[in-house]
């Protein structure tokens, strides 16, 4: 197995609502809702949207699509400045997201907040001096 | 917001167990359990492991770490051949994962199976002629 994640797929209640949410945030796609699945042109790992029940069915016919409690997974967007953290959180609210944690100085030395998307999927938006970026926008991980 | 996911963080019960699982599968890291968080050197989006309760707390002190039912998120690894799909699923089992869906021909034209990691996080492993890869191993998304 090569060390890479090809796709992160979010199960969503409404492809249309979530497609609009992520395009409002700046994720480009050529896909329409009619295609049944949305792929965004993201650097490195592709972000995809798929109806929640169909995603559960894709794993197993026995898997209930009911979601309760914490998913146990978060996505993170590392911004290039504190100002960008605030701007992304503002943009998430404007697009219909919910602030779960107001941006603040955090214990590990960063500045970080969380928003949730229309289905409650959690995104951390963070900045810290310790992070640096490769040319393609991915993080330098040592 | 630039269209990229910087990090996917999986909440885990045991950093040690999950670190071993993913290193067995081929994900490199310089981090030890003592550092409190594991980052893998993945192409594009970084894969991270963090204790489940701490991850919940990081979002909100009110968020229960209890997970029930379907997370509503899947990760996908697109392989370069059907043979590689089978090999990755075998490797996942050898590393302590569970097959959730035996690799099979699927409705969209691919060959796909699922495994879950020691915390039940779901990975699809798939191959299809329709996918092609960029030089860095990421998918060509049109």
Indicate whether A90 and A27 sit together in one domain: no
Residue B66 lies in a domain: no
Q: Looking at residue B66, what is its pLDDT?
A: 77
Indicate whether A31 and A95 sit together in one domain: no
CA nearest to B29 within chain A: A142
- Please give the span between the terminal C-alpha atoms of chain A, in angstroms, as a whole number: 20
Residues shown for chain A:
142
Residue A50 lies in a domain: yes
Model confidence over A72-122: pLDDT tens digits?
899 999 999 999 999 999 999 999 999 999 999 999 899 999 999 988 899
Residues of chain B with Cβ-Cβ distance to A47 below 8 Å are 3, 5
Chain-chain contact of B3 with A42 (C-beta, under 8 angstroms)? yes
Chain-chain contact of A67 with B64 (C-beta, under 8 angstroms)? no
Number of domains in chain B: 2
Cα–Cα dist B117/B19, whole Å: 11
Residues of chain A with Cβ-Cβ distance to B41 below 8 Å are 3, 141
Indicate whether A124 and A77 sit together in one domain: yes
The rounded mean pLDDT for chain A is 91
Minimum distance, in Å, between the CA of residue B48 and any CA atom of chain A = 10
Cα–Cα dist B31/B43, whole Å: 17
Q: Which two tokens stand for residue A134?
A: 């490769």
- Give the mutation candidate from A26, A72, A89, A104 for the B interface (greatest B CB count, under 10 A): A72
Model confidence over B94-122: pLDDT tens digits?
999 999 999 999 998 999 999 999 888 99
Specify whether the CB–CB gap between A137 and B2 falls below 8 A: yes
Has residue B50 got a pLDDT over 80? yes
The rounded mean pLDDT for chain B is 91
Chain-chain contact of B138 with A8 (C-beta, under 8 angstroms)? no
Residues of chain A with Cβ-Cβ distance to B3 below 8 Å are 26-28, 40-43, 47
CATH number at residue A91: 3.10.180.10
Indicate whether B3 and B46 sit together in one domain: yes
Q: Looking at residue B8, what is its pLDDT?
A: 94
Q: Looking at residue B60, what is its pLDDT?
A: 82
Chain-chain contact of A78 with B7 (C-beta, under 8 angstroms)? yes
Residue B134 lies in a domain: yes
| Domain housing A116 | 72-142
Indicate whether B86 and B130 sit together in one domain: yes
CA nearest to B100 within chain A: A59
Indicate whether A44 and A3 sit together in one domain: yes
Minimum distance, in Å, between the CA of residue A69 and any CA atom of chain B = 6
Minimum distance, in Å, between the CA of residue B97 and any CA atom of chain A = 14
**What is the ipTM metric for this complex?**
0.88
Indicate whether B136 and B106 sit together in one domain: yes
Cα–Cα dist B105/B6, whole Å: 32
Q: How many CB pairs under 8 A join A and B?
A: 223
Q: Radius of gyration (Cα) for chain A, nearest Å?
A: 16
Q: What is the pTM of this model?
A: 0.89
Minimum distance, in Å, between the CA of residue A5 and any CA atom of chain B = 6
Indicate whether A142 and A79 sit together in one domain: yes
Q: Looking at residue B75, what is its pLDDT?
A: 93
Q: Looking at residue A122, what is its pLDDT?
A: 92
Chain-chain contact of A72 with B67 (C-beta, under 8 angstroms)? yes
Residues of chain A with Cβ-Cβ distance to B1 below 8 Å are 25-27, 77, 88, 91
Residue A66 lies in a domain: no
Chain-chain contact of B41 with A10 (C-beta, under 8 angstroms)? no
Find the mean pLDDT for residues A57-78: 83
Indicate whether A80 and A139 sit together in one domain: yes
Cα–Cα dist B70/A94, whole Å: 28
């Amino acid at each position: 197995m090569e060390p890479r994640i090809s796709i992160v797929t979010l199960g969503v209640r409404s492809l249309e609502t979530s497609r609009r949410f992520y395009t409002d945030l700046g994720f480009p796609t050529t896909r329409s809702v009619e295609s049944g699945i949305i792929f965004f042109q993201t650097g490195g790992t592709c972000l995809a949207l798929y109806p929640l029940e169909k995603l559960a069915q894709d794993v197993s016919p026995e898997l209930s699509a009911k979601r309760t409690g914490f998913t146990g997974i978060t996505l993170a967007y590392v911004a290039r400045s504190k100002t960008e953290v605030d701007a992304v959180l503002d943009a998430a609210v404007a697009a219909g997201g919910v602030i779960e944690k107001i941006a603040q100085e955090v214990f590990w030395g960063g500045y970080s907040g969380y928003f949730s998307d229309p289905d409650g999927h959690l995104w951390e938006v963070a900045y810290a001096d310790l992070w640096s970026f490769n040319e393609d926008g991915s993080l330098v991980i040592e």
